[in-house]
Amino acid sequence: MLLHDTFDYSAREFPDAEFATQGARSLTYAEARTQVHQIANALVAKGLAPGDRAALLSKNSIEHALWYYACSKAGVVPVPLNYRLAPPEWSYILNDAGAKLVWAQDAFAGALAPVRGELTAAKHFVAIGADVPGWENYEAFVAGQPATPPAHRGKPEDDLYQMYTSGTTGRPKGAVLTHRAVIAQLHQAMHGFGGRPGERTLIVAPLYHAAAGVTTFAAIHAAGALYIQEEFVPAEVVRAMSEERIAIALLVPAMIQFCLVAVPDVAKRRYDALRLIAYGASPIAEQTLARAMEVFGCDFIQAYGMTETTAAATYLMPADHRRALAGEAKLLLSAGRPVLGTEIKIVGSDGTILPNGEIGEIAIRGPQVMRGYWNLPEATAEALQDGWMHTGDAGIVDDQGFLFVQDRTKDMIVSGGENIYPREVEDVLYRHPAIAEAAVIGVPDDKWGEAVKAVVVLKSGQMLDAKELLHFCDGQLAGYKRPRSVEFIDALPRNPSGKVLKRELREKYWAGRTRQVG
């Protein structure tokens, strides 16, 4: 089975049913099918062949959803770009992927201008929205294209999409997911989310993210409808969940918290259609979750996973949440149990499997695991060992099979659902002439789960204040990666081999916390 097979089935069986709504615009399944075929044929007309990469740089939109299905039809592999990155970061990903075509919202098309000359493979540039000099408009791109599918028919083992995830070396890596892996994840999601024909799913988490992409596919897999919001505005999210017949919503914990504290009438509204809120990517406080369950009156499900596992490897199911609030509060610290057809093991530094209750690296095996990292055989071999995805996260499994994530063996920071690797930030800090040493850590943040903190050692005789250093990072890093605070110290703690002991740097900030990561 291929990604677009269930889309085709729904378009045949429910042609007049709602496919997606964004603002005042709405498409039926029949209309969506026509546009998917036109986009797919336009890709073929530009000379893109099966396996070629095509990038998309956009905030959430109906076109974003159509793009995935059109690429699936043409055999082209979409590369979604994080619109919050800086232009040099886009340039690296586009060149690494060898993207031959770039599709972008008009605002981002202009933002690409400073690095467009650096792009080695991209030959076609299509702008969605207003006309952009040097870019073909989307309407012209699809004009005259047939509303019938292209001749290509793919295979389940073909690459479906390539999604970039930051690497410990500071360079993002392209995780390649096949149709087979994503379809397996959709079957797994049906056992967690359910999903019914005609149900509306709120898509407000960014569609360049694995979780939002899979949530979109899961809604269409169930012949449901997408209610798409371009970006997160708390009052609009609350209004939609109250007034727009939203049945399922995917929110990161920071979004849930903002909805509860930033919308004055959140507790006065009714959410009669809302049956499930899915969350993940970072910790959620027990009091926040309890308040959310009281206010929204629906079930909650937590997912733990990573881009390399399509999205989810474990679910903390609605029944587990109810158990937690009924007295088993410890369950709220858990990431749940493996999803259908998936195994979790905890391994020691020597690769041995550890017994329940002992901390070690989390390894995952299941049909939803990636094919590998794009053009990185050594990194792929390190991550995928005998079919097991070694996550770099440390955790414990209890006797009931619940996973408890304890720390990140690779020091990754998760802020508001965004993955941040310290090396990327440290590389920028080291460009400042006054800095001798720098280490970046994640510290607790009530809104975002974690915030980026720079710990800095200055060169002898140099002066630098925190405000100046924070300003120095502007324009060199995506906003969410920039440090929010700075600590100046005399020397970084190191072990005998010279490795910086980041755990020591973090300890005073995480003291008394029962859970450090999501």
pLDDT tens across 96-110, in order?
999 999 999 999 999
Residue 414 has a pLDDT of 84
Under a CB-based contact definition with an 8 Å cutoff, are residues 339 and 314 in contact? yes
Report the pLDDT averaged over residues 341-350.
Answer: 94
DSSP code, position 110? H
Cα–Cα distance for residue pair 269/315, rounded to 1 Å: 28
Question: Which CATH superfamily groups domain 316-408?
Answer: Luciferase; Domain 3 (2.30.38.10)
Q: Reduced to 3 states, what is the DSSP secondary structure of residue 261? A: helix
DSSP 278-306: EEESS---HHHHHHHHHHH-SEEEEEEE-
Give tens-digit pLDDT for 22-45: 999 999 999 999 999 999 999 999
What average pLDDT does the structure give for the chain? 92
Under a CB-based contact definition with an 8 Å cutoff, are residues 393 and 409 in contact? yes
DSSP code, position 485? E
Judge whether residue 515 has pLDDT over 90. Answer: no
Rg of the Cα trace of the chain?
A: 23
From residue 499, give the alpha-carbon distance in Å to each of 169, 280, 408, 494.
15, 31, 16, 5
Residue 171 has a pLDDT of 82
Residue 243 has a pLDDT of 98
From residue 110, give the alpha-carbon distance in Å to each of 92, 125, 126, 134.
17, 11, 12, 10
Name the band, by pLDDT with cuts 50, 70 and 90, for residue 408. low
Judge whether residue 77 has pLDDT over 60. Answer: yes
Long-range contacts of 286-290 (CB under 8 A, 24+ apart): 286/324, 286/329, 286/332, 288/253, 288/256, 288/257, 288/260, 289/256, 289/321, 289/332, 290/325
Residue 517 has a pLDDT of 47
Residue 407 has a pLDDT of 62
Sign of CA dihedral 207, 209, 213, 216: negative
The tokens describing 332, both together, are: 């709220």
Report the relative pairing of strands 136-137 and 173-178 from DSSP bridges: unpaired
Cα–Cα distance for residue pair 39/31, rounded to 1 Å: 13
Cα–Cα distance for residue pair 379/395, rounded to 1 Å: 22
User: Looking at the domain covering 414-510, what would its CATH class be?
Assistant: alpha beta
Residue 409 has a pLDDT of 64
Contacts of 264 (CB under 8 A, 6+ apart): none
Question: Lowest-pLDDT range, 364-378, 383-397, 399-413, 425-439?
Answer: 399-413
Judge whether residue 462 has pLDDT over 50. Answer: yes
Give tens-digit pLDDT for 467-504: 999 999 988 899 899 999 999 999 888 764 456 888 88
Question: Lowest-pLDDT range, 246-255, 306-315, 475-484, 496-505?
Answer: 496-505
The shares of helix, strand and coil residues in the chain, as percent rounded to the nearest 5, are 35, 25, 40
Judge whether residue 132 has pLDDT over 90. Answer: yes
Give tens-digit pLDDT for 165-217: 864 445 899 999 999 999 999 999 999 988 899 999 999 999 999 999 999 99
Can you list the positions of beta strands (E) in 398-434?
403-408, 413-415, 418-420
Task: Give the predicted TM-score (pTM) of the model.
Answer: 0.84
Cα dihedral: 29, 31, 34, 39 (round 10):
-100
Report the pLDDT averaged over residues 293-319.
Answer: 96
Percent of the chain exceeding pLDDT 90 equals: 75
Domain borders along the chain are 3-166, 316-408, 414-510
Report the pLDDT averaged over residues 63-81.
Answer: 97
Name the band, by pLDDT with cuts 50, 70 and 90, for residue 283. low
Name the band, by pLDDT with cuts 50, 70 and 90, for residue 514. low
Judge whether residue 518 has pLDDT over 70. Answer: no
Q: Which residue has the higher pLDDT, 73 or 411?
A: 73
Report the pLDDT averaged over residues 365-390.
Answer: 97
Half-sphere exposure of 206 (CA within 13 A, CB side): 17
The tokens describing 296, both together, are: 């929204």
Residue 139 has a pLDDT of 96
The CATH fold of domain 3-166 = Rossmann fold (3.40.50)
Residue 495 has a pLDDT of 61
Interior angle at CA 81, CA 77 and CA 85, nearest 5: 160
Cα–Cα distance for residue pair 293/336, rounded to 1 Å: 18
Cα–Cα distance for residue pair 15/438, rounded to 1 Å: 57
Among residues 106, 25, 93, 16, which one has the least CA distance to residue 62? Answer: 25
- Count of H helices and E strands in the chain? 16, 27
φ, ψ (nearest 5 deg) of residue 23: 60, -130
Cα–Cα distance for residue pair 287/357, rounded to 1 Å: 26
Put the strands of the sheet holding 101-105 in their side by side order. Answer: 77-81, 53-57, 101-105, 124-128, 136-137
